Structure 1
Amino acid sequence: MSNNGNNGTKSPRCIAVVGPFQSGKTTLLEAILARTGAIQRQGSVDTGSTVGDGSKESRLHKMSVEVSVASTAFLNESYTFIDCPGSVEFLHDMRAALPAVDAAIVVCEADERKLPQLSMVLREIEELGVPHMLFLNKIDKADKRVQETLAVLQPASRLPLLLRQIPIWRDGIVVGYVDLALERAFVYREHSASQVVPLEGDDLMREKEARFQMLETLADHDDALMEQLLEEIEPPRDRVFDDLAKELREGQVTPVLLGSALHGNGIQRLLKALRHEVCGLDDTLKRLGAPANGSDAVGYVQKTLHTSHGGKMSIVRVLSGQVADGTMLMGAKGEAARVSGVFKLHGQHIEKRGPATAGETVALGKLDPVVTGDTITSGKAPLAPLVEIAPVPPVLAIAIAARDRKDDVKLGQALHKLLEEDPSLVLVHNAEQSEIVLHGQGEMQLRVAIERLQDRFQIQIATHPPRVGYRETIRKGVVQRGRHKKQSGGHGQFGDCVLDIQPLPRSSGFQFAEKITGGVVPRQYIPSIEEGVKDGLKEGPLGFPVVDVSVTLIDGSYHTVDSSDMAFRTAGRIGIHEALPNCQPVLLEPIHHVDVFCPSDATAKVNAILSGRRGQILGFEARDGWPGWDVVRAEMPEAEIGDLIVELRSATAGVGTFITRFDHMAELVGRAADQVIAAKKAAAA
C-alpha cells in the first residue's frame, strides 16, 4: 500500500459514497464524521443539519444534487469521503469523481424496488474497476433474513456478494451483528461503538454456517484455502483477512457489511474494513495507468464549483508531487494557470490550508482553463487524459430566457458557469425558434439549474417547453403571377414574375429553376426572384416554414427604368405568398427514431407508453452487455417526446432512459393539426 513520506503512515485515501436515491449515503457520511470526531454530533437530512447536502437546493429538496466532500482521520490515517448523488439525474457527478478514488462504499437497503438503481451504480463502478463494498443500511428495519436479501441483491452485481456479517435478532428486531472474519458478536449502541458479547447458542450455529459460506467464496480464488476447507482445517484468521483484502482490491468479490447509518450502527466495523482492506494510492495509480512517484505534480479534477466569494474552485485528487499556492498547472488543452489558494473542503465550508501532497483531495482556486475530468500537471507538456468520461445523452429540455432583457449578458455568463459545474447539461441556441434550450437528465436536474440561476446569480428566468420544429408543405401545384408596382415620384418600382409552384417528394427541400425565353425577365434579376420566393417560404399560410416545394420561373416582364433587384425580390415574395393558400397546404411534424433502454420486466409498460404517445413500435431486443435489460425501438412524433422521460422513469423504478434522432417529416392532419395551428396563431397574436 502507498506510503506518504517517511512517517510510515499510509497516504491519504479517497473514498466515494455511492448508492441508489434515498439509500442513506449522506446520513452514512454524517455518521462517519461523528464517529471519527470530525463533527461534535450527527446531523440529519430532515433537519438540514448534515455536512453533506449543504447547498440550498439539496436542503430544499432533501436530496443530493451534487457531490459533497469532507475529510477526517481514523486511527491516525487520513480519509476524504465524496458523497455522490443517487438520483439518475445527477449521476454525472459520481461518474466524474469515481476514477480517482481508492474505493467506493455502495450504500443500499433491502428494497427490491431499488434494484435497478443499484444495478446502474454498480455497473459504473465495475466498469472502472474501482474496489467497492456494500453497506446494507437500515438493517434495523429489516424484515427478512440477510441471506434472502443477498439473493435479491446479487443480480445487480457482476461480482459475488460476500457476506461479512450476519445480524443478531432478538424478538424480531436486529440488535447487533456477528463478524464472520473475527468470529465475534457485537451488540449495537446508538451513536457509539458496539459492545462485544458472547457468541453462543443459535447465533453460534448461524455463524458457523455463514462463515463457511464466506470462506468457500474466498477459496474460489485461493487454492490453498480450498485445500484447507476440504481437509476441514480451520484457516488462520490472518490468512482470512489477507484474502478478504486481496480479493476486494483485485475486484473478485464485493464484501457486504451491515448497519444503520441513522443510529450510527456498524460504523466502526466499516471504518476498520476501510483501514485494513482498502487499497491506497499506488494501486489507484496502477488502475489509472498514471505515473507513480514522478517529480511533477499530477492531479485529476473530480468536480468544478463556482463559489460566491472564492470564484472557480476545482476539486482535485493529487496523484503525485505537491501542489501549493502559486503552482502553475496545465490542463488537457495545454493552457496553464496559477493556483490561487489550496483549500480544505468540509461540505459547504471552505478553509485555506497549506500545500497538498500525493493522495490528498483538495480544492484549488482560479484554475480557469481546467474542467471536470481533466488530468492536470505542473510539467511542461499536457498529459493524456487518465480516463474519458463519456457524455450522457440528454432526455429532457426546457427553453429559458431572462425575464429582463438587460440580464441577457449576465445569463450567458451564468450558464457558462452552470455548465462547468455540471457538464451533463447541454445548451443549444436554436436560431430558427429564437430560443435558448437547456437540455438535461430529467425534471429535477433542470429545476435545480433554474433555481441556481435565480438564487445564486440573481437572474429571474422565464421558461417554456421548447417549440417543436413543425413545417408545412403543399399537396397540389398552381401557376401564380407575382407583381410589384409602385410609383412615388422619380424612379418607381416594378417587378413581374410568373411562378409554377409544385409539390416535391418528402425531404426534397426547396428547388428553384427558370425557363425564361426572349429575355422577358433579365438574367440579373432571376436570383432576386429566387431570394423573394425563399423569403415567402419562411412562413406559410399555416404559420410554419414551407418545405418540399419546387418553384419554376416561367414568365414575367420588366421596366427599363423602374425594375431593380429589390422590386423583383418583392414580386417573388408576393407570388409565393399569394399562391400557397391555393396549393392545399398541409402541416408536417418531425418524427424521431427512439431507442428506449429499460429493465426487461418493464418492457410491456414501455411499449404501452410509447403507443399511447402515437409511437410506432418497431420491435425490441436484449440490450447488449446489460443482462436483464431490453432496448425498445420506435418512431415517435417530436411533440410526444418532450416529457416522455417523466413517464418512463415512473414505469422503470427511475432508471429508464432513451436516445433519439430525427428520422423524417410526416403529415399531421385532423384535430391534432388544428390544435397546433391554433396555438401558433394565438402565440402570434
Structure 2
Amino acid sequence: MGADRVNGGAAGGRETGPRCIGIFGPFGSGKTTLLEAVLARTGAIARQGTVGAGNTVGDGAPEARAHAMSVEVNVAEAEHLGEHFTFLDCPGAVDFLGDMAGVMPGIDLAVVVAEADEKKVPALQVILKQLEDRGIPRLLFLNKIDRTSSRLRDVLTMLQPASAVPLVLRQIPIWNEGIATGFIDLALERAYVYREHAESQVIDIPNEAMAREVEARFSMLETLADHDDVLMESLLEDIAPERERIFADIGGEMREGLICPVLFGSAEHGNGVGRLLKALRHDAPGVAATRARLGLEETDGPVVQILKTVHTLHAGKLSVGRLLSGSLSDADTLTRPDGEQVRISGFYRVTGQQASKRAQAQAGDTVGLGKLDGVNTGDTLGGSAPAPQLAPLAMPQPVLGLAISPRERRDEVKLSAALAKLCEEDPALVVTQAQDTGETRLDGQGEMHLRVALERLTGKYGLAVETGDPAIPYRETIRAGTSVRARHKKQSGGHGQFGDVAIDIRPLGRGEGFVFGDTITGGVIPKQYIPSVRAGVEEALKTGTLGFPTVDIGVTLTDGSYHSVDSSDQAFRMAAIQAMREGLPDCRPVLLEPVHQVTIACPSEATARINAIVSARRGQLLGFDARPGWSGWDEVQALMPATELSGLIVELRSATAGVATYSSRFDHLAELTGKAADLVLARHGRQAA
C-alpha cells in the first residue's frame, strides 16, 4: 500500500483540475471567517471581511447577517498556484444541517473547522459522522489557536471521540508566553512564525521545542505506519523514513478515509491559511475520485449533480451543480431523472450572492445553471439520456412545526408559491395541508430554521403572515351505548320531508374505527334509503358532543318508517343526524389525545436529563439503548402525547449543547380526562359532557 502511494498514480499522485471543497463545522467555529481568509490569501478578494461587520463573501443573505450565522450554503471560487478551487461553506447550526446532505455528494474533500471547546465535541461528531458514512475524505482545521491555552495533545484527546478514525497532528504550535506565535510542520521538520494576513516566515526550530517536535513527529509516523508496512519497518529499525513517503502516506491515508489530518491556525488573523492551501493543493482528491466514490464511470456526455437550489428575485431559479463528467456550456440540454429534457438558460460562476456569466465548464467545475424547471437539489442530470441517481436526497424528519396563513386573504396564492420556492431552496422545510383542520403547516428542523424561513417570506417575498401552534388532532369516543329514535318531518307545500330512524349506538375497542350495520326487515325502511342513514351518521360523527370527530363507535339501524311520497335520501340523512346528536350525549363521551412513539437521539452523558424531560411532559419511558453506529450516543424510546411534542426539540437541544434530535410516529389514541381535558375543551370553547 505504501509503495503505491510513493510511486504515484490514483492512490497517491497529486490531483489536478478543478476541485470542490466543502467547509463544515459546528456553529461558531469560524467556517465563514476561514473562507474569507482563504479568498483574501488567494487574491480572490482584495481584503478580508468579518462576520461582525457583515461584509464577508459568505453569509451575504440578509437573514445570515441579521443573526451573524450561516443559514445556507455559500459558494466561492479561488485560484491557488494555477489550480482552481470551489469552496462550499455550509451552515454549522444543527437546524441547517439539511444543506449538508445536498452538498456532500459533489465535494472532493471536507475541511472540518473545529475549536478547543469540549461543549462542541458532540456537534463535531454529528458532522464527522455524516462525512464518514459517505466515505468523504476530510481534514480538521483547529481554529482560534490564538485563544487556546491548553496543550494541543490534550485538545486532540478531547476531540478524538468525535472521529471514528485517528486524528493525526501535522503540526505543533510554537508557544511564546502562552500564545501560539507559529508552528512546526512535522512532515517537513521546519518551523514557521505567523505574520498577520500573510504567508508565515520560515525560522529555525526553537531549542525549547525540539523535544516536543521529535515526540509529536514519531507519534504521527506511528499512526501512519499502521497502514504502511515499509514505514513500520523503518521505525522499528530506527531508520529515518523518506520525506516523500511521509507525504504520500498522509495524503493517501486521508483519501482512503483511514486518518483525519489536523492542521491549526487562526482564520481571523489569516494564520495557518497558507499551510491549509498547500494541503488542499497536494492532498485533495479530484473529480475522478469523487466519481469513483459515487459509483459513476467517466462519460463523454455531461453528468451534473445538483448541490443547491436558489431562487433569485431578478434571475429566477438557479441550480448550483457539480459537473462530474463531460463538458457543458450555456443553452446545452440536460435530461432530468424523469426523462424530460431541460435547456440551460444562463450559465454562471457563483460567488456569494453574486452570479457572473461564464462561457463553459469542464469536469470538476461547479457552476450555476439557470432556469432548470423541474430540477431539484439532489438530482443527477444526464446529457441526452437520464443519468443514474447517484445520491438521492434524504432529509431528516421535521422536529418543529407552525400553522401559517397570510395576514391578508388575497395573498393565499402568493403564500403558496413562496412556500414552494422556500422548500425548493431548502428541502429540510416541509409544507403540508392538514385535512382535518384545513391548516397550512410549515415544519422544519428547529426554532431558528423556521424563524429564518419566516424572515424570508417577509423580506424576500414581501408577505405578512400569521403563525401559531398547529392544531392537535384530538378525537372523542364513547364509554356507553344507547338507543334513540328520531324523526325528520317537514311540510312546506307540495312534497314534504319525512324520515324516521331508530338506532343503537355502542362503543367499540380502541382503534376499531367506525362500524355501521342494520337489522331492517319487512321493508320498514326501503333499502335505497339505508346508505343515506349511514351518510347522516358519518356526518354527525365529524363533530361529536365535545366538538371533535368521534371514533371507535358502532351504529346499527334497527327500525324506522317512511312515507311513500315525502320520504327521500335527504330526509333520512337528516333524521340520522338528529338521532346521533340526541343519542351521543347519553353515551358518556370522553376526549382522546394522539400519542406518539418517540425516539430521541442524544449523547449518553445527557440521557438522564432527557429522561427527566420526557417524564415532565407526561411521557412514558420505554427504555434506552446505545445508538447504532454512534459511539457515545443513546436512543431513548418513549410514548408521548402529541401536544407535548410542541417545543420538545428546543428543550432537548438546550440540554445537549444543541445536538439532540428525535423522530416520532403516531402510535395510538388515549383517553384524556381531568384538568388536562378541561383545559383542552376550554381552549376550544367546549365543556365536558
TM-score in terms of structure 1 length: 0.97
Number of the residue aligned with 1:420: 424
Structure 1 position 261 matched with structure 2 position 278: no
Structure 1 position 17 matched with structure 2 position 19: no
Whether the 8 Å CA contact 1:514–1:554 is kept in 2: the answer is yes
Number of the residue aligned with 1:679: 683
Q: Which moved more, 1:370-379 or 1:138-147?
A: 370-379
Whether the 8 Å CA contact 1:2–1:10 is kept in 2: the answer is no
Shift of 1:90: 1.1
Q: Structure 1 residues 212 and 447 mapped into 2: Cα distance closer, same or farther (>3 Å)?
A: same
Shift of 1:2: 9.9
Number of the residue aligned with 1:231: 237
Which among 218, 227, 230 is matched to residue 221 of structure 1?
227
Equivalents in 2 of 1:285, 1:662: separation in Å? 40
Structure 1 position 290 matched with structure 2 position 296: yes
Which among 144, 153, 163 is matched to residue 150 of structure 2?
144
The letter for the 2-side match of 1:604 is: A
Which among 320, 323, 326 is matched to residue 318 of structure 1?
323
Three-state SS of the structure 2 residue aligned to 1:22 is coil
Number of the residue aligned with 2:535: 531
Equivalents in 1 of 2:558, 2:176: separation in Å? 96
Which among 350, 358, 368 is matched to residue 345 of structure 1?
350
Number of the residue aligned with 1:576: 580
Shift of 1:433: 0.8
Three-state SS of the structure 2 residue aligned to 1:372 is coil
Whether the 8 Å CA contact 1:404–1:460 is kept in 2: the answer is yes
Whether the 8 Å CA contact 1:482–1:496 is kept in 2: the answer is yes
Whether the 8 Å CA contact 1:168–1:174 is kept in 2: the answer is yes
Shift of 1:464: 1.1
Whether the 8 Å CA contact 2:101–2:394 is kept in 1: the answer is no
Number of the residue aligned with 1:585: 589
Number of the residue aligned with 1:446: 450
Which among 312, 331, 335 is matched to residue 336 of structure 2?
331
Number of the residue aligned with 1:301: 306
Shift of 1:407: 1.4
Shift of 1:520: 2.2
Whether the 8 Å CA contact 1:504–1:548 is kept in 2: the answer is yes
Shift of 1:437: 1.1
Equivalents in 1 of 2:534, 2:218: separation in Å? 84
Three-state SS of the structure 1 residue aligned to 2:97 is helix
Equivalents in 2 of 1:334, 1:402: separation in Å? 37
Equivalents in 2 of 1:548, 1:252: separation in Å? 57
Whether the 8 Å CA contact 2:325–2:363 is kept in 1: the answer is yes
The superposition leaves residues 601-639 of structure 1 with CA deviations (integer Å, 9 ceiling, x where unpaired) of 111111100000000001111111112111111111011
Number of the residue aligned with 2:652: 648
Equivalents in 2 of 1:555, 1:200: separation in Å? 103
Q: Which moved more, 1:631-640 or 1:415-424?
A: 415-424
Whether the 8 Å CA contact 2:604–2:633 is kept in 1: the answer is yes
**Following superposition of structure 1 onto structure 2, how do residues 214-613 of structure 1 map, counting pairs within 5 Å?**
214-292=220-298, 294-379=299-384, 381-613=385-617
Three-state SS of the structure 1 residue aligned to 2:222 is helix
Which among 33, 43, 46 is matched to residue 40 of structure 1?
46
Which among 172, 185, 191 is matched to residue 191 of structure 2?
185
The letter for the 1-side match of 2:510 is: R
Structure 1 position 206 matched with structure 2 position 185: no
Equivalents in 2 of 1:581, 1:243: separation in Å? 79
Equivalents in 2 of 1:130, 1:549: separation in Å? 55
Shift of 1:47: 1.3
Equivalents in 1 of 2:187, 2:157: separation in Å? 21
The letter for the 2-side match of 1:655 is: V
Number of the residue aligned with 1:133: 139
Q: Which moved more, 1:671-680 or 1:245-254?
A: 245-254
Structure 1 position 31 matched with structure 2 position 37: yes
The letter for the 1-side match of 2:335 is: M
The letter for the 2-side match of 1:320 is: S
Three-state SS of the structure 2 residue aligned to 1:449 is helix
Three-state SS of the structure 2 residue aligned to 1:658 is strand
The letter for the 1-side match of 2:613 is: I
Number of the residue aligned with 1:99: 105
Equivalents in 2 of 1:646, 1:200: separation in Å? 50
Shift of 1:9: 8.9
Three-state SS of the structure 2 residue aligned to 1:368 is coil
Q: Structure 1 residues 9 and 507 mapped into 2: Cα distance closer, same or farther (>3 Å)?
A: closer
Three-state SS of the structure 1 residue aligned to 2:628 is coil
Equivalents in 1 of 2:651, 2:328: separation in Å? 47
Whether the 8 Å CA contact 2:122–2:603 is kept in 1: the answer is yes
Equivalents in 1 of 2:15, 2:89: separation in Å? 25
Whether the 8 Å CA contact 1:2–1:282 is kept in 2: the answer is no
| Runs (4+) off by over 3 Å | none
The letter for the 1-side match of 2:554 is: S
Shift of 1:49: 0.7
Which among 69, 77, 91 is matched to residue 85 of structure 1?
91
Three-state SS of the structure 2 residue aligned to 1:20 is coil
The superposition leaves residues 566-602 of structure 1 with CA deviations (integer Å, 9 ceiling, x where unpaired) of 1111010011011111211110101111111111111
Shift of 1:36: 0.7
Shift of 1:12: 0.9
Equivalents in 2 of 1:533, 1:236: separation in Å? 87
The letter for the 2-side match of 1:281 is: V
Shift of 1:517: 2.9
Q: Which moved more, 1:200-209 or 1:109-118?
A: 200-209
Shift of 1:519: 2.3
Number of the residue aligned with 2:4: none
Shift of 1:492: 1.3
Consecutive unaligned residues in structure 1, runs of 5 or more: none
Q: Structure 1 residues 581 and 547 mapped into 2: Cα distance closer, same or farther (>3 Å)?
A: same
Shift of 1:389: 3.0
Equivalents in 2 of 1:400, 1:257: separation in Å? 46
Whether the 8 Å CA contact 2:430–2:443 is kept in 1: the answer is yes
